[in-house]
Amino acid sequence: MFDATQLVKDLQEMRDDGFLSDALLRQAVRSISEGDDRFDWVGAFLLDEENQEIWLHNYMGPRTENAKIPVGEGVLGKAIQAGGNQNVAEVDETDYPGSSDPDIQSELVVLVRAGDEIFGALAVDSEDPDAFSEDEEKALVQVSDKLAEQIMAERR
């Protein structure tokens, strides 16, 4: 599993050095992707509230067709709509489509949020079924909280 504590420290150092959320999002995606062989695809999405869609900011892994996802569609869209993280052990067993990659078996979506305000999400896909434990979710929450701090600071 990736080292969330170190990644949060790295992101804070980047903030202290004046980097903006764009750079922090890229660093987070890269570090998460490189931190665990089970993570076959990692992406950062940002919410466009006006158009009720989530757009892909950046990712590591195979090319995806999901550059824009309507709120309410797929695992990610359902997470945004429900206002909560989603840990889907078997994507094929859900009543909504997940990844555009048919090899993906499980998906973890953690919202980037501050209180009730949702800015986007981190999504991690795996070709392994039931790949994500509560520990991975907690680690991603630490990272997403740090990203939310930066996004909020930029919006002030």
List per-residue pLDDT tens for the chain, 156 residues long: 889 999 999 999 999 999 999 999 999 999 999 999 999 999 999 999 999 999 999 999 998 888 999 999 989 999 999 999 999 998 877 655 555 567 889 999 999 999 999 999 999 999 999 999 999 999 999 999 999 999 999 998
What domains, with CATH codes, occur in the chain?
4-155 (3.30.450.40)
Q: Which residues contact 143 (CB under 8 A, 6 or more apart)?
A: 4, 7, 8, 11, 28, 32, 110, 122
**The pLDDT value given to residue 92:** 75
**The pLDDT value given to residue 29:** 98
Which sign does the torsion angle of CA 63, 154, 53, 87 carry? Answer: positive
Q: Distances in Å between the alpha carbon of 101 and those of 48, 59, 66, 98? A: 24, 14, 10, 8
**The pLDDT value given to residue 91:** 83
Q: By C-alpha distance, which of 119, 110, 80 is closest to 96? A: 80
**The pLDDT value given to residue 96:** 55
Q: Taking the model in full, what pTM does it have? A: 0.93
* Distance (Å, whole) CA 71 – CA 102: 22
* Distance (Å, whole) CA 154 – CA 93: 39
